[in-house]
Structure 1
């Protein structure tokens, strides 16, 4: 008598689909008046009461970015609006197994307006994957100050970033024409080349500040006079209505102190946003 045939097929469970965060926040200003506020998902826009220019603080409530996350921040300025836009804390890009996380930042700065885009640093952890695109669209007579700062891991925690996929596109346009265009790529292949001067040397923190305004070249000498933070290399140049500053440091904390000093100089004595001072 034949026994029942056994099903030899091995039943396997499909890998669970990981939850991904989505967030978008936008704030619009007409002169000193808030005319639009929209936020969804993990992105929030906070409007603290501060003297002087209006201020918006963007926040990612997901606590960080990983594979497949998408985040966007936007502002629209019209009729002479002056705005300080920043982030509540350092953004963190964590280990990603699949696709990159994506961040899109777009600021539209209308006639007679000025924007200070001063996000706190982005911390990239080992095996992180992040693609970010920042675009500032200036009207013919508008101006801006843009900051981007990046830290590779937390040096104080003994972290070392060896595997990475980071692409950062920074673009400033005036009346539809590009006046600052900087694609930046840092990945595992580049890091594997070691401490080369043409890459980062021994630095694990770096930043760029760009002031675009009539007479921005005049800021070069005042900026150079405060590029004196121990442990930070800095240089400034001015040309064609721009002042561009580059910073390199072995760790993030001295670079942050240098950035705070530069903010005060470039913003003519105005203190940094309060979230930077906490």
Structure 2
């Protein structure tokens, strides 16, 4: 009898930094890649990619962005991330964003699709300085509706932590498991929806953006709400399918940031 061979795991880390108006770091290893496509805007556009094609048990993936004082950039992902069935420990994904004094980062990844039996732990950490700004989104989709897929088994822990000068602004954990999916039709959970999203804006004028944002929070088939307090705005949306939710999030992003959307988003509208 031969012992079963261990499965090969995907491990990747991509790090990129800008300071003084120039690229100061670009490191990439394993399945994680960072690209800087040519764009016509005044600020760089960063596109991350996981070349393994998805995440499964034991995989590790990390993306890091550091912006020096006064820098501006947009970071996104080339395509939707996918988490496949995992028979062992969960995949681990980490996003670390450092935003310097007077800098702004728009973190606009495309959606994460979770397949039946997926196991994923993800941590997004954002560290801001006193007057830096951040716009970030996250979209999670349970299976592909067009393929008739349903998700009944799942282990997901998705956490967002945002600090300004070390002071905690946002701690936002989102957890889904088999028991939660079984009760998913309750309004306190998913309400029967299969696509959910969160948007966070941190800047001095965040409260001023609340009314204009609510005016476009009306995509057919999408349930959404937004609230704001001094320097912080959060919107949450859910829908029975990914496409109306994606359209809603695009409209919210366009309301909150000047200039064109990242090219990878425009190509898939």
- TM-score (normalizing by structure 1): 0.94
> Counterparts of 2:256 and 2:16 in 1: how far apart (Å)?
24
Aligned to 2:204: 214
1:1-278 map, 5 Å: 12-50=1-39, 51-268=41-258, 270-278=259-267
Could you tell me how far apart the structure 2 residues matched to 1:102 and 1:257 are?
A: 28
TM-score normalised by the chain length of structure 2 = 0.97
CA distance, structure 2, for counterparts of residue 15 and residue 217 of structure 1:
57
Unaligned residue ranges in structure 1 (runs of 5+): 1-11
TM-superposed CA distance for 1:277, in Å, is 1.4
| Superposition CA RMSD, Å | 0.8
Change (3 A) 1:232 1:52: same
Report Cα offsets for 1:104-133 as digits up to 9, x if no partner: 100000111000000000000000000000
**Deviation at 1:275?**
0.4
* 1:137-195 Cα shifts (integer Å, max 9, x gaps): 00111110010110000011100000000000101100011101111110011111241
Equivalent position SS for 1:276: helix
- Aligned-pair distance for 1:52? 1.8
**Separation in 1, partners of 2:154, 2:255:** 34
1:240 deviates by: 1.9
1:263, 1:271 within 8 Å by CA — same for their partners in 2? no
Structure 1 runs of 4+ off > 4 angstroms?
none
Q: Note the alpha carbon deviations across 1:206-225, whole angstroms, 9 max, x for none.
A: 00000000020011111011
Structure 2 runs not aligned, ≥5 long: none
The alpha carbon displacement at 1:79 in A equals 2.2
Report the 3-state secondary structure (helix = DSSP H, G, I; strand = E; otherwise coil) of the residue aligned with 1:196: coil
Question: Quick one: distance in 2 between partners of 1:151 and 1:32?
Answer: 36
CA radius of gyration, larger in? 1
